[in-house]
Structure 1
Amino acid sequence: MFVEIYQRLLSEYGPQGWWPVTPPGERTPRYTGGPRDSAQRFEVAVGALLTQNTSWRNASRAIENLNDARLLSPAGIGGAGKNALARLIRPAGYFNQKAARLETLARFFEDGSAVTRDNLLALAGVGPETADSILLYGFGKPFFVVDAYTRRIFDRLGLLDGRAPYERIRRIFEGEIPRNARLYNEYHALIVEHAKRFCRKRPLCGDCPLRDRCRAAGAGA
């Protein structure tokens, strides 16, 4: 069923080109197929932290500010100073807290630490979803990302308990679909797109491409 859901979503929405990164010479992250070098991999890590508890639009505005200030690098963020950094990332919310966490993240990358799940989870403010986003979208490592959209959609489909612990849901996905980073990347991006279009908090069930598989179909408009 998990593979069938992926195939339906891909047929409906097409490839998503995640994660958005800033092309050379530009200031705004765009969906161009993910990072191509170490600078863009670091940008993915920054974006994964900035988008915590806010929309990607707000996180993107903060990244634009960092680009304008020429600080979107481990050295730039590490040397900016917490107050200046907080002002630049203000659009992402929780800016003082996130500034401190970005400084820690920048030191981690500057030190050349191994980018492993355990090492990322040891950093302040990096939980499983953020760590897996960095690993999957930044470094092409096969860790399935579980977010609120994943929980909502697959709970409504009756395929898992959306209240279950993060690791349990991640293991379900990784056991049901081939362990492949490109597949995980595309699948999670499609989940986000589907949640935005149809499987909202108040779902739009009428034209949903998964309606015939959903036990909650008809609960919304």
Structure 2
Amino acid sequence: MSSITHQVFKRLQESLGPQHWWPGETPFEVMVGAVLVQNTAWKNVERAIDNLRDAKLLTLQSFSSATIDELEDLIRPAGYFRQKTRRLRGLVEFMLQEYQGEIEKLRTADFLQLRKQLLALHGIGPETADSILLYALDKPVLVVDTYTHRVFARHGWIDYSADYHQLQQHLVDELPIDTAIYNELHALLVNVGHHHCRKTPRCDQCPLHNMLPASGIVDNDARREC
């Protein structure tokens, strides 16, 4: 019998179709988006990335040569523009110093070592690091987020107290190691979280509705937190 996580993946795949993630023309653009999307909606990220593209600052070298003031002004639509500018500059400096700014060197780097290096950078947490690794560098790591946690907790498939790495490990243990599956599953769960498993859930049209326990959404803590 297939695992719950695999059943979820197949159900969402059949119901929602390919998600074509992550939007970005180059690996560096994907990295920029992974930082800019922290604590904001993707539509705001798109505005900031469009600004950077219009200013011809969406390459590692051009970004590194831009002034802080210029970057802050262009990134402003994504919110927290000062913090995000510092985080992006730190990421760029790291790539230039440690990998000579070569994406291929990042791609072929030892996965665990590179993840450790990314997590050591200011403002780069597990979700951002894993998004960079998966979507920009094609590393086999599953990104989990608030939507993933909400969906799996409400269905009773994980403990509501599970942290990022516990949730990630739970899903990975039930799936083959496959970059394409990790990519698509995360994107599908974001779709469900955005449209159905919201803070106030809209279960009736959700593709996973009939996978809920007979008693409905699991426990009051999940209802309050989600």
- TM-score, scaled to structure 2: 0.85
1:183 and 1:210 map into 2 onto residues whose CA distance is 18
> Paired residue for 1:18?
21
Quote the residue 1:37 is aligned against. none
Matched length? 202
Conserved? CA contact 1:151–1:163, under 8 Å = no
Q: Letter of the aligned partner of 1:174 in structure 2?
A: V
Cα deviation 1:126-173 (Å, max 9, x = unaligned)? 110000000011111111111000010000111112431211111111
Paired residue secondary structure (1:111):
helix
Question: Counterparts of 1:47-66 in structure 2 under 5 Å?
Answer: 47-66=33-52
Q: Which amino acid aligns with 2:185?
A: Y
* Residue type of the alignment partner of 2:190: V
Distance in 1 between residues matched to 2:160 and 2:187, nearest whole Å: 18
What's the Cα RMSD here? 1.5
| CA positional deviation for 1:199 | 1.0
The residue number in structure 2 matching 1:199 is 197
| Contact residue 151 and residue 161 of structure 1 kept, 8 A | no
1-structure distance, mates of 2:179, 2:19? 14
Mapped to 1, the partners of 2:174 and 2:29 lie a distance apart of 30
State the alpha-carbon separation in 1 of the partners of residues 64 and 139 from structure 2.
26
Q: Deviations over 1:24-74 (max 9, x none)?
A: xxxxxxxxxxxxxxxx11111110000001011111110000000001111
Alignment partners' CA distance in 2, 1:217 and 1:122 = 37
Which one of 154, 163, 184 corresponds to residue 186 of structure 1?
184
State the 1:182 CA deviation: 0.5
**How far apart in 2 are the matches of 1:84 and 1:144?**
34
Q: Distance in 1 between matches of 2:80 and 2:184?
A: 29
3-state DSSP of counterpart to 2:204: coil
Match in the other structure for 1:144: 142
State the alpha-carbon separation in 1 of the partners of residues 32 and 57 from structure 2: 11
Alpha-carbon offset, residue 207 of structure 1: 2.1
Q: CA deviation at 1:210?
A: 1.1
Please point out which of 8, 25, 29 is paired with 1:43. Answer: 29
Please show how residues 13-162 of structure 1 align to structure 2 within 5 Å.
13-22=16-25, 40-113=26-99, 115=106, 116-162=114-160
Structure 1 residue 205, shift from structure 2 partner: 1.3
**Contact residue 205 and residue 217 of structure 1 kept, 8 A:** no
**Match for 1:200: what amino acid?**
R
1:106-134 Cα offsets, whole Å, 9 max, x none, are 11222353641111111111110000000
CA–CA distance in structure 1, aligned partners of residues 177 and 217 of structure 2: 30
Question: Which structure's residues are more often helix, by fraction?
Answer: 2
Higher relative contact order (CA 8 A, sep 6+): 2
Q: TM-score normalised to the size of structure 1?
A: 0.87
Task: Find the counterpart in structure 1 of residue 161 from structure 2.
Answer: 163
**Does the residue aligned with 2:183 lie in a helix, a strand or coil?**
helix
Give the gaps of 5 or more residues in structure 2: 100-104, 107-113
Equivalent-residue separation in structure 1 for 2:181 and 2:190 (angstroms): 14
Alpha-carbon distance between aligned partners in 2 of 1:109 and 1:68, rounded to the nearest angstrom: 23
Give me the identity figure in percent. Answer: 46
CA distance in 2: counterparts of 1:140 and 1:157, whole angstroms: 30
Supply the AA of the counterpart residue of 2:131. S
Structure 1 residues without counterparts, runs of 5 or longer: 23-39
For residues 89 and 161 of structure 1, the distance between their equivalents in structure 2, rounded to whole angstroms, comes to 37
